[in-house]
Amino acid sequence: MMKVAIMGYGTIGSGVAEILEKNAEQIEQAAGQKVELKYVLDLREFPGSPIEDKLIHDFKIIEEDPDVNIVVETMGGLNPSYPFAKASLLAGKHVVTSNKALVAAYGTELLAIARERQVNFFFEASAGGGIPIIRPLYRCLRGEVIQEITGILNGTTNYILTKMDKNGESFESALKEAQALGYAERNPEADVEGHDTCRKIAILTAMATGHEVNYEDIYTEGITKISDVDFKYADRMGASVKLFGSSRISGEQVHAWVAPVMIGRDHPLYMVSDVFNGILVKGNMLGTTMYYGSGAGRLPTASAVVADIIEASLHKHSNVPMGWNDERLSIADMSTSSHRFFVRIAGTPEREKALAQKVFGPSETVVLDGMDEFALLTERMTEKAFEEKAEAFESAGGHILQRIRAELS
Ligand code: HSE
């Protein structure tokens, strides 16, 4: 018998309690034993709810109860999730979390404690929500040298970009819908400024390389500057704009970044719409694989947490080798990363195209009727080269309205 305590009865925590109840038989079979919810820790009261009799307000009860084998952390944030997760591991309990902020900030230390105490620190739900991606990385792809991970890793921003693209909705109204559907972070700035994607790609990069990744080393740009006009051009070009978190690993050199990218219909991540996430992983022997599914939301995320509860039950007395060590991965400066660039330029092509082509080199030009602007699609160049050209263009009197990295063939 495994006894579980859930810390945080919010969107995900209540989903975990529901799945443990509804799928009890299936879970017992998979875990080889009964898995029972013993406590739910929350500051709030939940009168009339199914967990009313399990509700506690004091973490010490969990920490000091030798019957509790697995502690589920679904509180979010770092305080008190970090001290509680750490104390649980030190007390010899497995910890399962959906909290990417916790894993990105303290994963190295929590994984080390778990190894030392012969328990497990699992976090399948922390990246890609309900999509199995952490476990494939430490099991199925274990024999591969991972060369690239590129993902649409945030449901809220993908939902917003899809609504802007397909329905011409405004950024604000699409964000409100995503919040109402329970996809967004408590502070949606974490979604729209790319911070949530940054933590997820940091976790996936650390999983792929076996080394700690400092998420602060990852260049991060959100979607707040993407406008309806960008989508008009994208539409004309048979393209769309998606928020990517990406790691490109080539020997010692690792580029990791978060940014909106213009992609065409032939890109494997083009069809990943609405709240769905998609993650592309390239291995040196396997080639490209794709993982697709619900990247946010109550039951999909809770489902990944429950899978970790089962994994912990199957390894009740041993630590599963996974995760990363404390040797920090060096992330290459963004200025050395290469892309094509979609650039919107003020003025008519008649007036500005010659200068633009001279500065940016041979580029495709896109013109929309009735606009006092046009766009260029440059050849591939480093960020540094692009910034230098952009500066030269502006110094010569040109005016850039927008630039978006592009992966268009
Ligand atoms: N706010 C996150 C998202 C939740 O929209 O993807 C899942 O991590």
**Using one digit for the tens of pLDDT, what is the confidence trace for 25-57?**
999 999 999 999 999 999 999 999 999 999 999
pLDDT > 90? residue 351: no
pLDDT at 185: 87
What is the Å distance from ligand 1's center to 121 Cα? 21
pLDDT at 130: 95
pLDDT > 90? residue 183: no
Spatial CA neighbour of 355 closest among 404, 396, 403:
396
Query: Can you read off the two tokens belonging to residue 304?
Result: 């990944």
- Most distant CA atoms of the chain, gap in Å: 77
3-class DSSP state for residue 217? helix
pLDDT at 63: 98
Of 191, 199, 258, 301, which is best to mutate to test ligand 1, by the most ligand atoms within 8 angstroms of its C-beta?
191
pLDDT > 90? residue 362: no
More confident residue, 133 or 185: 133
Are the C-beta atoms of 102 and 111 separated by less than 8 Å?
A: no
Q: Which residues line ligand 1 (CB under 6 A)?
A: 129, 154-156, 183-185, 191, 196, 295-296
pLDDT > 90? residue 337: yes
What secondary structure does DSSP assign to 292-337, as a single string?
A: EEE-SSHHHHHHHHHHHHHHHHHTTTS----S-EEEEPPPPPGGG-
pLDDT at 176: 93
Element (H, E) at 205: helix 195-209
Confidence of residue 151 (pLDDT cuts 50, 70, 90): very high
The mean pLDDT of the chain is: 96
**Residue whose token pair is 């038989």:** 25
Query: Can you read off the two tokens belonging to residue 69?
Result: 């084998």
3-class DSSP state for residue 210? coil
Q: How many whole angstroms separate alpha carbon 288 and alpha carbon 264?
A: 18
Atom of ligand 1 nearest to the CA of 296: 7
pLDDT at 150: 98
pLDDT at 186: 84
Atom of ligand 1 nearest to the CA of 191: 1
Query: Can you read off the two tokens belonging to residue 113?
Result: 């404690």
User: Across the strands, what pairs with 325?
Assistant: 211
pLDDT at 170: 87
- In the 8-state DSSP scheme, what is residue 380? P
Counting every residue written for the chain, the total comes to 409
pLDDT > 90? residue 221: yes
Percent of the chain scoring above 90 in pLDDT: 93
3-class DSSP state for residue 31? helix
pLDDT > 90? residue 134: yes
Determine the average pLDDT of the residues in 269-284.
97
Q: How many whole angstroms separate alpha carbon 13 and alpha carbon 42?
A: 10
Spatial CA neighbour of 157 closest among 196, 206, 118:
196
pLDDT > 90? residue 315: yes
Q: Catalytic one among 200, 242, 384, 389?
A: 200
The count of other CB atoms within 10 Å of the CB of residue 147 is 18
What secondary structure does DSSP assign to 334-349, as a single string?
A: GGG-EEEEEEEEES-H
Q: What pTM, to 2 d.p., does this model score? A: 0.97
Are the C-beta atoms of 241 and 92 separated by less than 8 Å?
A: no
Determine the average pLDDT of the residues in 75-82.
97
200 is catalytic: yes
pLDDT at 363: 87
- Name the pairing type of β-strands 253-264 and 400-407: parallel
What is the Å distance from ligand 1's center to 241 Cα? 18
pLDDT at 252: 86
What is the Å distance from ligand 1's center to 341 Cα? 28
